[in-house]
A and B are shown apart, each in its own frame.
Chain A
Amino acid sequence: QVQLQESGPGRVKASETLALTCTVSGGSISGYYWSWIRQPPGEGLLWIGYISYSGSPYYNPSLKSRVSISVDTSKNQISLRLSSVTAADTAVYYCARVPVGDLHLDYWGQGTLVTVSS
């Protein structure tokens, strides 16, 4: 069974960089797109971006100037970095898998809450 687990600091100071890691177990990173999605408290879901297993990233235009997603196939990990954070970046951050050629989110992590403090 494929499992995704997000990890990283639960609190980040404003203006600093948020950094999260998603560790994939029970399956290979190859052959899939890997996504980061966030959900501010009480709000809807926002797709931050996704990366192919070969390392080509695609970012939400609204965050593109501040976001970076990378993949480490040797560790089965996908990383998210979001720079210059503000309170508006406080959210639950999810990683999720997208099968290539069958575009949908088939496996999700449990999510991790990141709070931006002043």
Chain B
Amino acid sequence: QTVVTQEPSFSVSPGGTVTLTCGLTSGSVSTTYYPSWYQQTPGQAPRTLIYSTNTRSSGVPDRFSGSILGNKAALTITGAQADDESDYYCVLFMGSGFPVFGGGTKLTVL
């Protein structure tokens, strides 16, 4: 069974740039997986950041961007701010058509 992988945790300095990735235990991520990214702070519902690899959801600052890097989907935060400290989840639509969440990345800004 193919699993969607994310870094469990990451740290970035305020104003810095960080790239979170979303991969597969078997195979490469491509645009056909419709990668999307969600931000979640404690006690809140997730917020949609990026969909269809690199389309920003309405109201999302342009410091968030999505791409394919090598064999993974990637979320890059440029000029990180304190309120970017959150959990980030990716979703891939697998070949079966069923969507699967990655395990999430806990981002610390310090």
Q: Which residues of A contact B (CB under 8 A)?
A: 37, 44-47, 50, 58, 60-61, 94, 102-106, 108-111
Closest B residue to A35 by beta carbon equals B99
Tell me the dominant secondary structure on chain B's binding face.
strand
User: What 1/0 mask marks residues of chain B from 42 to 56 whose CB sits below 8 Å from any chain A CB?
Assistant: 000111100110000
Does B21 make an interface contact (CB < 8 A)? Answer: no
- Chain B residue numbers with a CB within 8 Å of A47 are 91, 98-101
Contact B101 A46 (CB under 8 A): yes
Q: Which of A58, A61, A105, A111 has the most CB of B within 10 A?
A: A105
Determine which of B40, B48, B93, B104 lies in contact with A106 in the assembled complex, contact meaning CB atoms within 8 Å: B48
Contact A45 B89 (CB under 8 A): yes
Contact A104 B36 (CB under 8 A): yes
- Chain B residue numbers with a CB within 8 Å of A109 are 45
Closest B residue to A108 by beta carbon equals B45
Contact B98 A44 (CB under 8 A): no
| Contact status of A58 and B97, CB under 8 A, knowing A102-B51, A108-B45, A111-B45 | yes
Q: How many residue-residue contacts, CB under 8 A, span A and B?
A: 55
Docked complex Cα distance between A46 and B99 (Å): 9
- Chain B residue numbers with a CB within 8 Å of A44 are 89, 101-104
- Chain A residue numbers with a CB within 8 Å of B48 are 104-106, 108
Does B57 make an interface contact (CB < 8 A)? Answer: yes
- Chain B residue numbers with a CB within 8 Å of A111 are 45
Docked complex Cα distance between A30 and B104 (Å): 31
- Chain A residue numbers with a CB within 8 Å of B36 are 103-105
Closest A residue to B34 by beta carbon equals A103
- Chain B residue numbers with a CB within 8 Å of A103 are 34, 36, 51-52, 93, 99
Contact A45 B104 (CB under 8 A): yes
- Chain A residue numbers with a CB within 8 Å of B34 are 102-104
